[in-house]
Amino acid sequence: MNVNIFWLAALSYFIGFLFLLLIRSYDKYDKEPLGRLVLFSFLGGIISVLVSTFLYLFIHPKYNLTDAILKVGTVEEFSKLATLFLLYPLIKKEFDEIVDGIIYAAAISLGFSVIENIFYASHAVFPYTLLAKRFLFATIGHISFSVYMGIAFYVHKRIHRNYLGLLLAFILATLAHGLYDGFIFNKNLVALFLPVYLLLIYFQFRLLKVAYAYSRMKADLSLSNMRLSSQKNTVKCCNCHSENTDLYQFNGVKIYKCQTCENSILYEKDFDKLLKFYRPKLNRKKFINSLKQLRHNLALDNENRLIYYTEKQRLNVKLMHLETWFKTENIKDLKRYHKTMEGRLFNQLGFKYLK
């Protein structure tokens, strides 16, 4: 069947880029320009495919679980990591945030997967059906395999020589990739494919949350970073009971500032949004529910400077104290996380150098 390669390529890239945008949307602090990501994914895809094609001249995998891990996974993940090293000079100046490692590794994986998708689809009887299936599994899978290497690479280039972290990340990426392909190759194991695939996606976004928790690009919680609204309001301050308040907006969050005592008032839903921004590793749902169950007002800090008023379901606080609390508690969140088995493993990727 003759296939219009141009439209096939465009569709393949578009559906893959949607997932890259999903990952990028999680970055609330310092988003990478879309144009740069598009260019990087094109170049990364071409170079990584050329590297893997060259390696496959000497390595000939069979369709079984062992070769899927030791050959397919090894060759293709090595190709992506090598490409990240080769293209690093292009992004060196902008490579200033830990999440950048994940974003650019994902961009290379997207490019690699798109070219691979075009190859398979151009030989398929129903190319667009195959593309839809490969977007849901192969493209998202390729991106998920590589996030570990993105984290380790960032630490290696910007923080500390991280050879062991890179090796561990490469092993994890290879194992994930190999299991993905191996369960497809083996009819007896194909039932395990979907659970393993979903687990890979799950761990990808868990790793993203850790990266965001370590981010140094969070905007300061100060009036200088907020927009004063002209909207009239009659929110009463829980501290001095004045209704003389100004409304400020910060990343979709509404913060009311009392002109009398200069305390800030946050409704529960806005406090929840700030928790997501400043404490990404926190189980926010559990934390907010624990506040709702309280019968009495609660001080969230030992100095009694952050008061949660249960009846009003509002937080009353000075912004400088709230920002200090966010930073302190975020560090505690990470310390608790790195005591878990998963946290200990991810710690070895390079997070230990960020403490």
Provide the pLDDT for residue 4. 66
Distance from C-alpha of 287 to C-alpha of 88, rounded to nearest angstrom: 40
Query: Can you give the pLDDT of all 355 residues of the chain as single tens digits?
Result: 445 666 767 777 777 778 778 777 766 677 888 888 888 998 999 999 999 999 999 999 998 989 999 999 999 999 999 999 999 999 998 888 888 998 899 999 989 988 888 888 777 777 777 777 777 788 888 888 888 999 999 999 999 999 999 999 999 999 999 988 888 888 888 888 888 888 888 888 888 889 989 988 888 888 888 999 887 777 888 889 888 899 999 888 999 999 899 999 999 999 999 999 999 999 999 999 888 888 788 899 988 899 999 888 899 999 999 999 999 999 999 999 999 999 999 999 999 998 7
Provide the pLDDT for residue 1. 45
pTM of the model: 0.87
